[in-house]
């Protein structure tokens, strides 16, 4: 059973296939002590179905959270639809919460976060006891916090980190397999674009759930990974406490933790967990109590301003109408200005990178939005329809990265910034698919002053193309690879023995021939005014003629630059000469800038590109 394409607020469990149960729209809010606020989503059930037991969801760490974000939303929706108030939240220094990855003593703070979240769920959800569900490190933190309380009726640990030392080794190895170096010179750990300080890594290393001396809850469900074999090494410890301990290995974990654009909601796991929750609820039989709705709907944080002073920044979750049943979610970040007569400010609209939600790749959008707001700009971090926390448009699927409706979503967000926020001018910023949508919005004549495209991988997306298909930029890379080996014996022997995909080789050969002919033929067609199906040069010129400044930023040797140069012909060179467009390169960077040093270089370039906007408004195109 697939959850893709499910209407907003509905969940269709395996036990009730064909019977969707609706729940109210979840409420975004902030909670926790001042200066250490946490961001969360309260999924409240219909009043008639509300039970006295709530579900708290604890995220995994780093890139695993970006991968699991969508699936954990479905867990919350399923619980809410069944009558259980649910809260999912971001730990300190993660997601939309206050702080950053450089904070000291993070594990202690994270434990306090879980305690704060439990207390908040009890108050806002109107429940007297809670169930806690966590994934990976989130399951570990949930366990440690639950063992210090008496109001946790049950624990659901999905692939829990039992031994912290083993987990830190995994993160280190993951960092070493990519472009990130794993352990850094200062002892901090960088893995898949997320950093863990030396102190935090050392503290996590000391955790061993097998050494627990206090039971975390009277009921425990351990959901083992389906991509590894072996028995639970933690269950025997828990059984010593004479608990109701269950171990399951439902399919879906590995697919849930794929890259966000490929991640699949684990329906069998969601259904199994919900069956367990319903059984536990029948055992505790708790009636709901009076609920106090969340009050804090904005975050205030102090950040350094360019002049060295402390700037107050306001971060507010917003919903944007699209003219359909779908409302888009975004995070509006502004300087807190009390002077009502202050001049309108320029605004930046940040789009999703692939299927990563509005925090951006490696949480980069959060950092940049707060940084630029401290310098006087308004920033909207947007989830396009079907991505992150924006539901899909009617009759559309979730998680469609190159959505045909994205340009309409961008238009709705720009209209919101101009009419509701009062932006003086608007700028677009996007990476990968976000770069593509930024460019197409500029070409479509959206009212923007500039569009910054970071590492676009394509300039023309054909509807129905799968992300797993071989793309044009991949063929260009294969051409370069084969060209270097064509005069050696290796590829010919592989071809004779059937070890090479003949269709792929043929495609590469044809693409190479076409690559030599196409630029001249395309340029001739433009001169003769022949209509072109894919006319990148024409699209570039069209955007520039509307007064839109085009800014391209590429990691060095990025395939998107090769495509831009090849498909635009001489047009890009002319635009560069006229300074209507710019191209910047980031050295020693991969596609999503997973290394901190590469991100720092990218931030410096983006700061420079946005500097004119902070100096004052430009005439609106």
In 83-125, DSSP assigns E strands to 86-89
**Which pLDDT score, from 0 to 100, does residue 55 have?**
99
Banded model confidence at residue 18, pLDDT cuts 50, 70, 90? very low
The answer to the question of residue 19 being in a domain is no
Instruction: Determine contact, residues 57/125, Cβ cutoff 8 Å.
Output: no
Terminal Cα distance for the chain, rounded: 47
Q: What is the average pLDDT across 25-34?
A: 95
Q: Is residue 621 part of a domain?
A: no
Mean pLDDT over residues 429-457, rounded?
98
How confident is the model over 294-303, as a mean pLDDT?
Answer: 85
Q: How confident is the model at residue 24 (pLDDT cuts 50, 70, 90)?
A: confident
**pLDDT at residue 528 above 90?**
no
Q: Give the model's pLDDT for residue 307.
A: 65
Nearest residue to 171 via CA among 144, 202, 143, 145: 202
pLDDT value at 5 more than 50 = no
The residue among 439, 452, 476 whose CA lies nearest residue 558 is 476
Q: What is the pLDDT of residue 105?
A: 81
Is 150 part of any domain?
yes
Q: How many whole angstroms separate alpha carbon 564 and alpha carbon 479? A: 17
At residue 465 the predicted structure's pLDDT band, cuts being 50, 70 and 90, is confident
Query: Minimum mean pLDDT among 279-293, 440-454, 474-488: which range?
Result: 474-488
Specify the length of the chain in residues: 621
Sign of CA dihedral 316, 321, 322, 327: positive
Residues 424, 350 share a domain: yes
Top mean pLDDT of 8-17, 111-120, 169-178, 518-527 is at: 111-120
What pLDDT, on a 0 to 100 scale, did the predictor assign at position 104? 78
Residue 463 lies in a domain: no
Q: Tell whether the model's pLDDT for residue 423 goes beyond 90.
A: yes
CATH code, domain carrying 364: 3.40.50.1820
* pLDDT for 212 beyond 80: yes
- Per-residue pLDDT reduced to its tens digit, 130-141: 999 999 999 999
Q: Please indicate whether residue 514 or residue 541 has the higher confidence score (pLDDT).
A: 541
Q: Are residues 40 and 120 in the same domain?
A: yes
C-alpha distances (whole Å) from 540 to each of 77, 350, 374, 500 are 43, 21, 32, 38
Q: Would you state the pLDDT for residue 509?
A: 54
Q: Mean pLDDT score of the chain, rounded to an integer?
A: 87
Q: Are residues 260 and 280 in the same domain?
A: yes
Same domain, 485 and 584: no
> In the predicted model, what is the mean pLDDT of residues 302-329?
88
| Residues 551 and 409 both lie in one domain | yes
* 279 and 329 both lie in a single domain: no
Q: What is the pLDDT of residue 243?
A: 94
* Beta carbons within 8 Å of 440's beta carbon, 6+ residues apart: 406, 407
When mean pLDDT is compared over 10-14, 170-174, 229-233, 377-381, the highest value belongs to: 377-381
Q: 505 and 487 share a domain?
A: yes
Considering 501, 533, 565, which residue would you say is the last residue of a domain?
533
Choose among 281, 252, 319, 254: nearest CA to 3. Answer: 252
Indicate if the pLDDT at residue 457 is higher than 70: yes
Which pLDDT value is given to residue 4?
38
| Same domain? 156 vs 175 | no
Q: Are 503 and 603 in the same domain?
A: no
Of 201-215, 308-322, 498-512, where does mean pLDDT reach its minimum? Answer: 498-512
Segment 426-439 shows an average pLDDT of 98
Which segment of 137-141, 497-501, 616-620 scores lowest on mean pLDDT? 616-620
Shared domain for 316 and 406, answered yes or no, is yes
State what percent of residues in the chain have pLDDT above 90.
73
pLDDT > 70 fraction of the chain, expressed in percent and rounded: 81
pTM, full prediction: 0.87
Is residue 122 packed enough to be buried (19+ CB in 10 Å), middle (13-18) or exposed (0-12)?
A: buried
How many domains does the chain divide into?
4
Q: Which residue has the higher pLDDT, 524 or 441?
A: 441
Lowest mean pLDDT among 300-309, 358-367, 421-430, 488-497: 488-497
Asked whether the predicted pLDDT for residue 378 surpasses 70, the reply is: yes
Where is the domain boundary, 256, 284, 312? 284
Q: Comparing 74 with 476, which gets the higher pLDDT?
A: 74
Do residue 270 and residue 240 come from a single domain? Answer: yes
487: pLDDT strictly greater than 50: no
Tokens of 476: 């260009």
Chain segment 252-281, per-residue pLDDT in tens: 999 999 999 999 999 999 999 999 999 999
Q: What is the pLDDT of residues 142-181, one digit of tens each?
A: 999 999 999 999 999 999 999 999 999 999 988 775 554 5
Domain boundary among 235, 259, 284: 284
505 pLDDT more than 80:
no
Domain assignment of residue 6, yes or no: no
Contacts of 283 by beta carbon, 8 Å cutoff, 6+ apart: 219
pLDDT at 19 over 60: no
Domain span at residue 136 reads 24-162+216-284
pLDDT for 498 equals 54
Q: Look at residue 294 and tell me if it is in a domain.
A: no
On the question of pLDDT at 620 being above 80, the answer is no
DSSP for residue 393: P
Residues 334, 443, single domain; the answer is: yes
Q: Is residue 462 part of a domain?
A: no
Amino acid 183: pLDDT: 64
């Amino acid at each position: 059973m697939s959850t893709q394409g499910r209407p907003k607020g509905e969940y269709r469990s395996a036990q009730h296939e064909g019977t969707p149960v609706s729940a109210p729209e979840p409420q975004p809010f902030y909670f926790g002590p001042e200066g250490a606020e946490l961001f969360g989503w309260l999924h409240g059930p219909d009043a008639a179905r509300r039970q006295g037991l709530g579900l708290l969801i604890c995220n995994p760490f780093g890139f695993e959270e970006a991968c699991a974000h969508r699936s954990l939303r479905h867990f919350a929706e399923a619980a809410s639809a069944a009558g259980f108030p649910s809260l999912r939240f971001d730990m300190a220094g993660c997601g939309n919460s206050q702080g950053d990855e450089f904070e000291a003593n993070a594990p202690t703070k994270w434990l306090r976060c879980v305690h704060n979240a439990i207390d908040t769920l009890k108050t806002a959800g109107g429940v007297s006891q809670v169930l806690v569900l966590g994934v990976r490190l989130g399951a570990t933190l949930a366990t440690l916090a639950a063992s210090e309380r008496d109001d946790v009726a049950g624990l659901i640990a999905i692939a829990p980190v039992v031994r912290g030392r083993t987990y830190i080794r995994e993160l280190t190895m993951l960092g070493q397999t990519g472009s990130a170096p794993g352990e850094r010179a200062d002892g901090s750990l960088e893995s898949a674009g997320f950093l863990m300080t030396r102190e935090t890594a050392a503290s996590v290393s000391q955790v061993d759930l097998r050494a627990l001396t206090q039971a975390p809850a009277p009921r425990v469900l351990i959901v083992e990974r389906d991509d590894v074999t072996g028995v639970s090494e933690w269950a025997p410890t828990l059984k010593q406490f004479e608990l109701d301990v269950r171990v399951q290995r439902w399919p879906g974990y590995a697919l849930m933790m794929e890259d966000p654009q490929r991640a699949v909601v684990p329906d069998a796991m969601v259904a199994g967990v919900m069956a367990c929750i319903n059984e536990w609820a029948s055992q505790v039989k708790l009636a709901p109590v009076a609920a106090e709705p969340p009050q804090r709907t904005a975050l205030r944080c102090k950040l350094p301003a360019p002049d060295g002073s402390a700037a107050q920044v306001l971060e507010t979750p917003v919903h944007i109408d699209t003219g359909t049943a779908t409302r888009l979610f975004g995070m509006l970040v502004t300087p807190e200005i009390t002077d009502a007569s202050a001049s309108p400010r320029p605004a930046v609209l940040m789009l999703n990178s692939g299927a990563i939600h509005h925090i951006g790749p490696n949480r980069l959008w959060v950092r940049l939005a707060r940084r630029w707001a401290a310098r006087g700009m308004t920033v909207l971090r947007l989830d396009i329809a079907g991505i992150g926390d924006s539901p899909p448009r009617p009759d559309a699927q979730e998680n469609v990265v190159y959505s045909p409706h994205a340009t309409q979503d961008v238009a709705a967000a720009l209209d919101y910034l101009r009419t509701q926020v009062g932006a003086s001018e608007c700028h677009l910023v996007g990476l990968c698919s976000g770069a593509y949508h930024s460019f197409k919005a500029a070409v479509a004549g959206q009212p923007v002053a500039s569009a910054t495209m970071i590492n676009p991988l394509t300039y023309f997306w054909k509807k129905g193309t799968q992300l797993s298909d071989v793309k044009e930029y991949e063929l260009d890379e294969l051409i370069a690879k084969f060209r270097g080996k064509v005069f050696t014996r290796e590829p010919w022997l592989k071809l004779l023995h059937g070890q090479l995909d003949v269709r792929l080789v043929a495609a590469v050969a044809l693409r190479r021939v076409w690559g030599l002919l196409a630029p001249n033929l395309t340029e001739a067609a433009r001169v003769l005014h022949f209509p072109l199906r894919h006319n990148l040069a024409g699209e570039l010129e069209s955007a520039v003629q509307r007064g839109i400044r085009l800014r391209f930023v590429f990691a060095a040797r990025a395939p998107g630059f090769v495509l831009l140069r090849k498909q635009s012909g001489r047009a890009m060179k002319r635009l560069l000469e006229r300074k209507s467009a710019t191209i910047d390169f980031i050295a020693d960077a991969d596609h999503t800038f997973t290394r901190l040093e590469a991100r720092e270089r990218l931030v410096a370039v983006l700061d420079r590109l946005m500097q004119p906007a902070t100096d004052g408004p430009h005439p609106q195109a």
